[in-house]
Each structure stands twice: as C-alpha cells, then as structure tokens.
Chains A and B, each alone.
Chain A
Amino acid sequence: MQKISKSFGGVPALIEASLEVMPAEIMALVGQNGAGKSTMIKILNGAYVRDEGSISFNGTPWTAASPQQAQRAGISTIFQEINLIGYRSVAENIFLGREPKRGFGLLDWAKMNAESAALLKRFDVKVDVREPLERFSTAIQQMVAIARAVSFDARLVIMDEPTSSLDEAEVAVLLRTIRQLKAEGVAVIFVSHKLDELYEVCDRVTIMRDGRTVQVSAMKDISKLHLVAAMLGRDLAEVKKRGATAFEESSGANIGGELLQARNIAVGHRVHDASLDIRKGEIVGLAGLLGSGRTETARAIFAADAKTSGDITFNGQPAAFKGPADAIKAGMGYCSEDRKAQGIVPGMSVAENLTLALMPALTRSGMLDEAKQREVVDRFIKEIGIKCAGPDQKIRELSGGNQQKVLLARWLCMNPKLLILDEPTRGIDVGAKAEIQMLIRRLASNGLGVLMISSELEEIVEGADRVFVLREGKTVAEFDHQNMTESKVMHAMAHGHDT
C-alpha cells in the first residue's frame, strides 16, 4: 500500500500512509486511537474506497469493492468483535456463503463437517464442529474465524485486536496459530496494543500516528520504549517541554485529605488488580495503553459495572453502591468515553441533557421547576461557555466540544465531590479542548477530586497532580507530580514496572 489518503467529510483520516507486508511475514500495525489503523485495514479489505494512492497484492494492482470480494481474492479480516454467528455450528460458520452441495440444492453436511474438522486440526483445535459456536471460548471462536479465512485460501490475514478479550492461555494458543499460518506461507497483519505479544510473534512493525506511517522497523531493532514513543509522537531526546496543553501548573496547595481509595479492583477478565486513590482537590491521571482496563476500572468505581472483587472507600465510608444512582447520590459523576452511545440523549435539548442527573433536585412535588432549571442552565452555559443557539437547541446539533461541555455541566451542577472523566477531550477541536482543560484545573482548585483517563500523554503529565499507570489490568506504577515525566510514564505503560 503506497501513499494512501482518505478523508471523511473533509477531515483527513489517512495522509499518504503506506504499509508493506511480505509473504509469510507477520507485520504488527500499531498506533493510538485515530492514528488511522482501522481506516487502513478497511481500505485494504474493501470496506472503504481510498481517495488516493495505490495498492498492489501479489504483484498486481489491487482494489476490492467489498470485504466479500477481498476474501475471495485472498485477503481475510478477523475483527475484534468476532463476526461470526454464535447460534450456528462451527462447521457452518466456516462454510456460510459457499456451502458444499450434493445436488437438488441440498447441503452436504458430512463433507462440511469433515472438512471443518480437518481444517481446525491443522491448528491443533479439536472440537465437535457440529456444536453451536457460542458454546466455545472466545479463543476457539477466533480460531474458527481464522480457519474460515484459511479455507478461502487466504494469502493475507488481517487481525484487528484479536487478543483483546482473551486470557493468557488463550492468547498463547492464538499466537501459536499465527505462527502456523506463517509456516504455511500466509502473511499476517496483526493489530494489538499488547506489546509483549507483538514482540513474541511479529517480524516487523509499522507504526502509525495522525494518519501517517511514521516508522517501519524490524521488531528486534526497536525497543518497547521507542515503540511507545513513536506511537505517541514523543521524541525521547526531547527535553521536558511544557505548554502543549492548557493545564496550568498546579501549586498543589489546595490538595486536601483522602477522597477515594480503591484497592485491588478486579472486573471480568479486563481488570485484575487495579488500585488507586484520589484526594480532595486533586487531579489524578489514569494512564495505560488501550485495553489496559482504564475504562473498566472507572466504571467499576462508579458502580456502572459490578466488580468481581476489591474494596472502594469513598469520602471515608466503604462504598457499596448498587448502581450509578447510589454513586451519584454519594457525590460522584462520570463522563463516559463514548459521548454518543453513553453520554448524550440526542433527541433532547441542551437544557434537558444538562439537567438529566440533577432532576431529583429540580423537583417540586414531581413537577419540574422550570424557573430553577432555566437558571441553572443559563448559569452553566455562561460559566463554561457552551456555544449553542439557546438552551432549547437539540444537543445533537452541537459540536463535539460543546456536547462535552454540556456533559461536564451535567455533573458540575450536582456539586459533586469526585468527577471521573474518561477521555474528556477526545474528538474535540483544539479551542474547546483548551477550554475544557482549563475548566478541569479550575474545578480541582475549588476542591473537586478528578480522575482523568486520557490516551494523550501530555494531558496526563501536564494536567495531573498524580498518575497511576495500568498495564493489562494491573496498577503497575504511581508517579507524583515531581517525578512525573512522559518517558517514565511511557516506560511504565510499555514495561509494566517503574524505574
């Protein structure tokens, strides 16, 4: 793939990016959210059409009109959320769309089952292929997806974060399968955020950032630290630089006593042992690569998901919240990472969205106190500078930054003690981003405790008073403001132990 460019509605997603994979090579493809990995993959497998650039496959120019066509031509994609049909049998999932027939249009089940079993055996998977797929573990399901790809005589298999929901043993099986593919001469593009896996199985790595290919290197020639640095766009030699964000230097003078303490939190198989604490008036950063369990930890603290184990103390009391409503009552607020799916109610107005959590306080015997609502809404629109035509404008018509401000206001009007912000500035233009960052600092200096999850290192390093680093579901490091540098945080994200 050479000089691929692609824009969505004028916003460039890829700028002259390139990617090259040799036969029987395992190529790692890494980058942060929005680096352009998915777009690149989707252009290659025919889900998107490129604006510019050229692709050649097996030495000939290549264009796929659809994922199905790409699959027939030898490029198969295995998505993060497995795109198979859980209720159908293993064999069917391998053969759906080109089932072997016996004549009269009837299916040849015997052949289908035998071929499936033989195919899976090549990867050392022995299962009853007549059983529904959903009865098997995610790893087996991944394997079935790979077998399906191979049965199409794939020459190139693209795997988009295949290991994100696997446990360690399952990952080992998957990696073995990938090596098996390589041994059969199949090329693999492997997208993952788990560095150890990349080093274990990949030959080379392509690093993308902001829609460009920034580095291609043999895996053995690049250290984890360099790799993370390239992903995040940090020059290791660069001296500590200040001012990339609008966070003001915190004096730390207003930081008070302990507000929240979370010990040994475990949730599902994403979070195993996360611990952190937050003091009043403090901004605590939660750093980690994608898939390290940041969001899951935050949701567990807010009681949006049930934790498997661990203890949380909030405001001196053991917190046994049954759901978000309890957490809110106790004085927490949570701005989720996915504004659209979990934040805004798109059909409602700015005012209605802003007061969604405040409603109990706006009630006068069941009725909404419109005057009070108007007063609150007007105050916050002015105070945090929400740009809208008026409180009655539908929130979906607002820009991302202004939507985010409304969501912040939704919690601020509650006068919370702790605010959990999951990627508060993602997908927001530069101006609004600076305003939100200044706002967060101002709130903290008024005594609010803030837990801030961010994938942007400068936001963490410059904004947070302290930072906890998560790696594969475990808290691996803690830095206070004096000891916090980008390279240290990166090091912890990459290696897991602080040095």
Chain B
Amino acid sequence: MMKGFRISPSMAVVAVLIILTLLGAWRYDGFLGTYNVQTVLRYNSMFALVALGMCFVIMTGGIDLSVGSVAAFSSVVAAHLSGYGLFPGLIGGLAAGLFAGTLNALIITRLKIAPFIATLATMLAASGTALLLANNQSVSVSYDTYFTNLGQGDLLSFMRPEWVDAEDAGFFAGVIGFILSFPTPAFIALAAYIAGAIVINHTAFGRHVLAVGGGTEASRLMGLPVDRTIFLVYVISGGMAGMAGVILASQFGAGQPIEGVGWELFAIASVVVGGTLLTGGNGSIGGTLAGALLLGIIFTILNFENGMGWISLSAYWQSVVRGVFLFVVVVLQAKLANPAKAAA
C-alpha cells in the first residue's frame, strides 16, 4: 500500500483553484480587482449554497435534483414578501426551501422512494408552484425595503476605513480592503460553509451523515438514527436552496420562477469535483466550496483570456471545460476506488 503523504482529492482541487487564481492574477489585469472579485463571488455564492446542501445529501449516498427549482420557488416567495421588509422576505424564502426539503425527506424516508425519483418529483412540483405563484412571470421585489441589500449590498462596506483606500496604503491595507469589499451573499455563503464544516467535522450529526453514507446497514446496527439523519440532510439541502433563492431574488431584483434549470447538476458536479464520493460516506465541505468556485472561475478566466485578444473562445467553452473537469475527476476517482476494492 502507499505509504507516507497522501493527497486527498479535496486538497487537489483546492490546489488547482489556487493555481488558477494565481495564474489569473499574474496574467490578467484586474483579475483580483474589486470589481471582478465582487462579481464572481456575488454570482457564485448562490451556486455555492446549493452545492453545500447537495454535499450533505451526497455524503449520505443520496441525491437532490430539486434544488434548482426549489431555489426558483423560494425566490418567488421571497419576492412576494419583500415588501414587508428584509426579514419577512428572507424568512419566507428560507421557509419555502425548508418546506420543499421536508417534502423530499418525507417521500424518501416514509414512502421509501429512491431519492432520485422523489426529488425529481419535488423538482417538478416546486417549479409548477413557483410558476403559479408568480403567474408565469418574474415577480419584482420591493425596493422600498432593505431586501435587495441581501444580494446587492456589501456587508462590511460601512466599516471600510478611509486609510485602506489611501494612495500609499501598504499590502496589509490592500488585503483588508479586499476582504471588506466582499459582497453580502459571499458572507452568507461563507458563514454557511463554516457552519457546515463545523457540523460535519465536529458534531455527532455530521459524523452520522458520513457514517450513513459509508454503510447504511452497518450504521443501523451501530444504533445510529439512520432515518432521522437522512431526513435532516434533505431539509438542510432544501434550506440551502431556499437561501440561494432569496439571494437570487434580491440580487436580480425579481423572483425568477424559471431560473434554476440545471443548477442541481452544476451542484452535483461541484460536489464531485470537490472530492466527495457520489456513493457517499466520504467528502469534504471545503472541497465542495473549492469545486464550486473552480467551476465558476473558469467562466471568468475565459472572459479575461478573450479580453487579451490572443485567442477567442466563446463563453460557451465553459461548459465544455467544466465537463472535462468532471470527467477527469470521476475517472480518477474510479481508478483510485476500484483497485482498493479488489484488494480488500
């Protein structure tokens, strides 16, 4: 067997992300500039949230196809409620997501229907309900409340000291300024990821999530609350999709009943690229974040590269590159997994 240092798949993807970022910073002007960073983080934080929920589900060996349309559904709910203020919108959207997640959880644990089918059904139902609630069009959010700050604001901009932007500010000030310029949704996603990492790595529930994915029957025999664990991961996934929906509505100023198509598969790809096994039982929250950012950053790099004028690759190449990434990762995973199984 291999001895010594092991490179875990999630470490590898973090490394690739860092290398690509450094490469971008070196090659393109403004790659790490405030505007670009804000744009990338603002947009991708929705995907990151959805991927986080998906990561929990996949760690138990399940799958949640409904996340995209649940996000759309809760964006509509949040938009409707945004007139009552930031919190009604936020809580309403979140509740919509949690409701859909609970529906998934019930169909899976009570009716014993495979997650693939259960969440496929919820996907259709959420999409239909979103369209009904929205009357087939986007629902404008209210600009009279602070609701739009959730998606469009920059959480820490109010505490930005002037010296940060001074002409002769040093490297340190630059870093502070960089962090302070993060958009609000990025902080929400970051908080969710930190909470997620703590839950997975430092709570009994988190360990049970991984144990159930690693061996459902063995977990049952060890006395773990298998059904409750499975139930909760779908609720969490629904909640994350709900939060993504709230940000969607806030960021684009409208509840979008037809958004979210293909989000679920993008989220799955992020999770898998991040080193989490699709069969469950092993994975990494940090890797998932890296996976989501990696897939997101490809688009930005393509944009910048085109701006350089050397080559002209259309934005559509990003899907191809993402697919290739996924391909490489799953083939590597399969190659790593199969000989081990044969030897065991």
Binding site for B on A (CB under 8 A): 66-68, 71, 79, 83-88, 92, 96-97, 99, 101, 105-107, 109, 132, 134-135, 138
Contact = CB atoms under 8 A, between A and B. Distances in A.
Given A96-B224, A97-B222, A88 B211 contact: yes
Interface in B243-279: 277
Contacts of A67: 221, 223
18 contacts: A67-B221, A68-B221, A71-B223, A79-B221, A84-B218, A84-B222, A85-B219, A85-B281, A86-B214, A86-B215, A87-B210, A88-B207, A88-B210, A88-B211, A99-B204, A99-B207, A107-B202, A107-B207
B137 interface: no
Contacts of B221: 67-68, 79, 83
A94 to B, nearest CB: 10
B340 A134 contact: yes
B281 to A, nearest CB: 4
A67 B282 CA distance: 26
Contact of B215 (A68, A85, A101, A135): A85
Contacts of A97: 222-224
A105 B215 CA distance: 24
A99 B201 CA distance: 12
Contact of A96 (B1, B207, B217): B207
Nearest to B344: A134
B208 interface: yes
Nearest to B217: A83
The 9 closest A-B pairs by CB, nearest first: A68-B223, A85-B214, A83-B218, A87-B282, A87-B281, A87-B214, A106-B202, A99-B204, A97-B223
B198 interface: yes
B203 interface: yes
Contacts of B204: 99, 101, 105, 107
A2 to B, nearest CB: 26
Given A105-B203, A107-B207, A138-B344, 4 more contacts: A68-B221, A68-B223, A87-B213, A105-B204
Contacts of B282: 87, 132
B311 to A, nearest CB: 42
Contacts of A83: 215, 217-218, 221-222
Contacts of B213: 87
A79 B224 CA distance: 17
Nearest to A47: B221
Contacts of A101: 204
A138 B344 CA distance: 8
B218 A85 contact: yes
Interface string B215-252: 10111011110000000000000000000000000000
Interface in B175-220: 198, 202-204, 207-208, 210-211, 213-215, 217-219
Contacts of A88: 207, 210-211, 214, 281
A239 to B, nearest CB: 48
Given A68-B223, A134-B340, A135-B1, A107 B203 contact: yes
A387 B221 CA distance: 40
A97 B208 CA distance: 8
Contacts of B203: 105-107
Contacts of B219: 85, 96
Contacts of B340: 134
A428 B342 CA distance: 33
Contact of B198 (A79, A86, A106, A132): A106
Nearest to B282: A87
Interface string B77-105: 00000000000000000000000000000
Nearest to A138: B344
A91 to B, nearest CB: 10
A79 B340 CA distance: 22
A134 B1 CA distance: 12
Contacts of B217: 83
B198 to A, nearest CB: 7
B221 to A, nearest CB: 5
Contacts of B1: 135
A443 B218 CA distance: 45
B222 A96 contact: yes
A350 B215 CA distance: 35
Contacts of A107: 202-204, 207
A76 to B, nearest CB: 11
Contacts of B215: 83-86
Nearest to A82: B218
A96 B202 contact: no
A92 B223 contact: no
Contacts of A105: 203-204
B297 to A, nearest CB: 29
Interface string B272-303: 00000100011000000000000000000000
The CB with the most chain B CB atoms within 10 A, among A85, A96, A138, is that of: A85
A85 B211 contact: yes
Nearest to A133: B214
A134 B340 CA distance: 9
A96 B281 contact: no
A135 B203 CA distance: 24
Nearest to B204: A99
Contacts of B218: 83-85
A145 to B, nearest CB: 10
B281 A92 contact: no
Nearest to A135: B1
B146 to A, nearest CB: 31
B92 to A, nearest CB: 28
Nearest to B212: A85
A269 B148 CA distance: 65
B208 A96 contact: yes
B299 to A, nearest CB: 33
Contacts of B211: 85, 88, 92, 96
A173 to B, nearest CB: 18
A134 B214 CA distance: 11
A475 to B, nearest CB: 26
Interface string B320-344: 0000000000000000000010001
Contacts of B208: 96
Nearest to A148: B222
A157 B239 CA distance: 43
Nearest to A132: B282
Contacts of A135: 1
B274 to A, nearest CB: 16
Contacts of A99: 204, 207
Interface in B18-56: none
A83, A87, A105 — most chain B CB neighbours (10 Å)? A87
Contacts of B210: 85, 87-88
Contacts of A106: 198, 202-203
Contacts of A96: 207-208, 211, 219, 222, 224
Contacts of B224: 96-97
Contacts of A92: 207, 211
B193 to A, nearest CB: 17
A132 B6 CA distance: 12
Contacts of B207: 88, 92, 96, 99, 107
A87 B277 CA distance: 11
A68 B224 CA distance: 9
Contacts of B281: 85-88
A101 B205 CA distance: 12
B287 to A, nearest CB: 14
Contacts of A85: 210-211, 214-215, 218-219, 281
B145 to A, nearest CB: 34
A66 B207 CA distance: 22
